[in-house]
């Protein structure tokens, strides 16, 4: 599969798992999309540990220092899996694993060159050393009870926005 086919499959499968996809071609466009997504939110957490996260302009009046106080978490995902429409998050580089599952909404940014066709391709790219924690997130949090009633957002974010960035 070509890089463009892998990206297209990822975007299609994001929609299938009820995530909200977007694609941008520059950091400036990413900033505008993030600002629009966060327009009505009161508290936003972003660890600002990656180059992309550090480059985001999040309103300082909305920004919180603790992910436990945030309505929305914004982060760069380490990778994405096209086959399942999943994003890959780890606790590497000082990121807290809980940050992407506690807020009511998760906004993930993934670089287009970090989208893999399937989990095997991603794991092969890592080599022999796995991160201490890997979380695969496939759409908003869904929980079913014994009566098979599906509830969205009960045990994690009820909304997942994923923005694919084509630029470096």
Condensed to tens digits (0 to 9), the pLDDT of residues 92-106 reads: 666 666 666 667 888
Query: Both tokens of residue 36?
Result: 């629009």
pLDDT band at 32 (very low <50, low <70, confident <90, very high): very high
Average pLDDT, the chain: 85
What percent of the chain is predicted at pLDDT more than 70? 82
**Residue 56 pLDDT > 80, yes or no?**
yes
Q: What was the pLDDT predicted at 37?
A: 93
Phi, psi of 125 (to 5 degrees): -70, -25
Task: Answer whether 104's CB lies under 8 Å from 71's CB.
Answer: yes
Q: Which CATH homologous superfamily contains domain 3-165?
A: NagB/RpiA/CoA transferase-like (3.40.50.10420)
Q: Which of 3, 9, 22, 161 is nearest to 85 (CA)?
A: 9
Arithmetic mean of pLDDT, 71-93: 90
What is the residue-wise DSSP string for 109-152?
EEEGGGEESSHHHHHHHHTT---S-EEEE-SS-EEE-TT--EEE
Question: What's the pTM?
Answer: 0.87
pLDDT band at 153 (very low <50, low <70, confident <90, very high): very low
Q: What was the pLDDT predicted at 15?
A: 92
Q: What was the pLDDT predicted at 104?
A: 81
**Residue 152 pLDDT > 60, yes or no?**
no
Arithmetic mean of pLDDT, 6-28: 93
Task: Answer whether 96's CB lies under 8 Å from 128's CB.
Answer: no
């Amino acid at each position: 599969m070509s890089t463009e086919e892998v990206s297209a499959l990822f975007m299609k499968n994001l929609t299938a798992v009820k995530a909200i996809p977007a694609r941008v071609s520059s950091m400036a466009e990413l900033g505008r999309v993030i600002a629009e997504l966060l327009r009505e939110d009161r508290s936003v957490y972003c660890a600002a540990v990656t180059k992309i996260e550090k480059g985001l302009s999040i309103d300082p009046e909305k920004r919180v220092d603790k992910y436990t106080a945030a309505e929305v978490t914004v982060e760069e995902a380490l990778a994405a899996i096209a086959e399942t429409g999943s994003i890959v998050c780890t606790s590497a580089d000082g990121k807290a694993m809980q940050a992407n599952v506690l807020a009511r909404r998760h906004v993930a940014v993934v670089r287009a060159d970090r989208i893999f066709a399937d989990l095997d391709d991603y794991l092969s790219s890592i080599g022999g050393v796995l991160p201490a924690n890997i979380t695969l997130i496939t759409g908003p949090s869904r929980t079913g009870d014994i009566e098979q009633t599906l509830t969205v957002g009960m045990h994690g974010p009820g909304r997942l926005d994923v923005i694919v960035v084509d630029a470096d």
